[in-house]
Amino acid sequence: MDNMEILFGVSSIRQKEAEELAERLRPTKISGILIGYPPYILPTQEEALVYTKRIINLCNKPTILYNNPKRTGFDLSVSSILQLSKIEFVIGIKEAGNKEKVGLLKKNITKSNFHIYAGGEIELEEKVSLGFDRLSSIAGNISATEISQWFNKLLARKEISEKERIKIESIIQQVYQGSPIVNLKKTINEKGIPIGICRSPIGNG
């Protein structure tokens, strides 16, 4: 815990369970939380705001919102994000939905410690150009140095050499061809770290 930041995901279909988890995290050394929205439930924006604020108040830690409508069916609106960004503990959003939202967020959120996280490396160059300034990396689990160097160059608007581009494309293809989670676990297992296999139906082919 002294050598890295630990972020903990908090989400549940039942708000009561998410609240209980947040409460238990409060006294720990966890660095911050990532708040996810319940799949299938399809809360209204108002209900999502209540859910989010309650978790933040109980946990009292730096908070990143996680909007992933493709997985949950729920899309946190720009208006809701702007409202939540005013809370002191809210330091960013991991936006896996409409990347065009980012321009509006950048324009309307003035606090300097609010960051936009890209979920994974797909279309990362375009996302950085739109204003994403943090990366929740997937490929970094097996090629941390290469992905970190590439991302930092993108942020600094530095030129990516052809050799670097070929290397990154190879890493991304290795991870994203098929199921990324299956590929990651396979590669990590092959490196001698027993991380186990995926539960079915993922990886059952």
Burial of 125 (0-12, 13-18, 19+ CB in 10 A): middle
Burial of 98 (0-12, 13-18, 19+ CB in 10 A): exposed
d(CA 186, CA 35): 28
Pick the catalytic residue from 37, 51, 61, 66. Answer: 66
167 is catalytic: no
Pick the catalytic residue from 61, 94, 101, 127. Answer: 94
For residue 120, give the nearest of 149, 90, 158, 151 by alpha carbon.
151
94 is catalytic: yes
The neighbouring-strand residues paired with 63 are: 33, 90
> So which residues are the catalytic ones?
66, 94
